[in-house]
């Protein structure tokens, strides 16, 4: 079973992001970039499927030169191959999905895994858009995946509980936290990843259909007051919530 995993190189969740001079992007110097946390679940699931059923795991990432770092992380976890769709300019997610779909057309796959969401743009859209661009079914935000012959059964979390979804393959799945516990790259894996060749594909230039108007810091919360110590402070807290904040 050949599995394609789409991964993105994103700022670390701890990073203090600052608006750049152009007012429309972020400063990237001094920011630590990592493999998108949700994509770690996607890579891990792909590796487990390969371990159970054979085949190859290929990583695909679109982005600037630095995106190769996250491809190396995925290779170090154990992926077989990596393809870099080299593009420095900004896309809207649909345009990006179409570019990734075109690249996916050159890679043999039985199943595609994406992360649920990239923690930079927080769109949580690409996997499903990619599925539509490839005319494939999709199941988003999955917490369990079972692959059977020619079909798969996945579980996804919804507000009122869990949905069990059955789909034909090939299909696209997006990984939610809870799907698995991603492994750490082994030392041997890291050494091997350094030697692997990352295939490059050029990305066609296309205009974004989403225009950025402005980037701003949200109104920050100012720390409030310490009402008191221990259980003795409870009556005063209840009074404040009732009379001042008017939420009780």
Partner 1 sequence: MKVLVFAEQREGEFRKAALEACGAGRRLAEGGELVGVVIGRGASAAAPKLAAYGPDRILTVEHPQLELYSTEGYTTALEAAIKQEQPDAVLIAGTATGRDLGPRLGARLGVPVLADVINLSWNEGKLAAVRPIYAGKLHLSVRSQAQPGVATTRPKAFPAGAPDPGRQAQISPLEVELAPDAIRARVTQMHSEAEGTIELTEADIVVSGGRGLKSHENFKLLEELARTLGAAVGASRAAVDSGWRTHGDQVGQTGKVVSPTLYIACGISGAIQHLAGMTSSKVIVAINKDPEAPIFKIADYGIVGDVFEVVPALTEAIKAMK
Ligand X SMILES: Nc1ncnc2c1ncn2[C@@H]1O[C@H](COP(=O)(O)O)[C@@H](O)[C@H]1O
Ligand Y SMILES: Cc1cc2nc3c(=O)[nH]c(=O)nc-3n(C[C@H](O)[C@H](O)[C@H](O)COP(=O)(O)OP(=O)(O)OC[C@H]3O[C@@H](n4cnc5c(N)ncnc54)[C@H](O)[C@@H]3O)c2cc1C
Q: Interface residues for ligand Y in 177-236 (CB under 6 A)?
A: none
Q: Which is nearer to ligand Y, 41 or 109 (CB)?
A: 41
Q: What is the CA radius of gyration of the chain?
A: 21
By beta-carbon proximity to partner 1, the closer residue of 88 and 159 is: 159
The CA-based dihedral angle spanning residues 100, 101, 104, 106, taken in that order and rounded to the nearest 10 degrees: -110
In whole angstroms, the minimum distance from the beta carbon of 196 to partner 1 comes to 28
Here's the x/- map for partner 1, 76-105, by CB under 8 A: it reads as ----------------xxxx-x--------
d(CA 233, CA 224): 15
Distance CA 78, CA 75 (A): 5
Q: How far is the CB of 62 from ligand Y (least distance, A)?
A: 21
Whole-angstrom CA distances from 186 to 11, 68, 81, 105, 198 are: 23, 18, 17, 31, 19
Choosing from 165, 190, 198, 201, the residue that interacts with partner 1 (CB under 8 A) is: 165
**In this structure, what token pair is assigned to residue 104?**
């996916």
User: Of these partners, partner 1, ligand X, ligand Y, none, which one is at the site of residue 231 (CB under 5 to 8 Å by kind)?
Assistant: partner 1
Where does this chain touch partner 1 (CB under 8 A) — which range of 77-85, 104-112, 134-142, 196-204?
134-142
Question: Which of positions 15-74 make contact with ligand X (CB under 6 A)?
Answer: 36, 38-39, 42, 60-63
d(CA 201, CA 107): 12
Q: Which of 2, 8, 9, 37 lies at the binding interface for ligand Y (CB under 6 A)?
A: 37
The structure tokens 């050159």 sit at 106
Write out the two tokens for 157: 């979390």
- State which residue, 205 or 222, has the beta carbon closest to ligand X: 205
Q: Report the candidate in 90, 103, 114 with the shortest Cα–Cα distance to residue 35.
A: 114
Tell me how far apart the alpha carbons of residues 29 and 225 are, in angstroms, rounded to a whole number: 36
Question: Does residue number 110 form part of the binding site for partner 1 (CB under 8 A)?
Answer: no
Chain residues in the site for ligand X (CB under 6 A): 6-8, 36, 38-39, 42, 60-63, 93, 96, 100, 114-115, 117-118, 121, 123-127
Chain residues in the site for ligand Y (CB under 6 A): 13, 37
């Amino acid at each position: 079973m050949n599995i394609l995993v789409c991964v993105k190189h994103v700022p670390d969740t701890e990073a203090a992001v600052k608006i750049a001079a152009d007012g429309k992007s972020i400063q990237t110097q001094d920011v630590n970039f990592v493999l998108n946390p949700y994509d770690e679940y996607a890579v891990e699931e792909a590796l487990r499927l390969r371990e159970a059923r054979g085949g190859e795991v290929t990583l695909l990432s679109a982005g600037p030169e630095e995106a190769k770092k996250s491809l190396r992380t995925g290779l170090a976890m154990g992926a077989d191959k990596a393809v870099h769709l080299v593009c420095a300019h900004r896309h809207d997610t649909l345009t990006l999905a179409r570019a990734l779909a075109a690249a996916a057309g050159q890679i043999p796959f039985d199943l595609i895994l994406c992360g649920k969401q990239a923690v930079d743009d927080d769109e949580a859209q690409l996997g499903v858009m990619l599925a539509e661009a490839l005319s494939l079914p999709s199941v988003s935000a999955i917490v369990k995946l079972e692959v059977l012959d020619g079909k798969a059964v996945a579980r996804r979390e919804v507000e009122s509980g869990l949905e069990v979804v059955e789909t034909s393959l090939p299909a696209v799945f997006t990984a939610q936290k809870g799907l698995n516990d991603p492994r750490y790259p082994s030392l041997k894996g890291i050494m091997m990843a350094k030697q692997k060749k990352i295939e490059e594909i050029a990305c066609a230039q296309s205009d974004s259909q989403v225009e950025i108007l402005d980037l701003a810091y949200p109104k920050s919360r100012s720390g409030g007051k310490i009402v008191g110590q221990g259980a003795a402070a409870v009556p005063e807290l209840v009074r404040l919530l009732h009379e001042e904040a008017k939420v009780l």
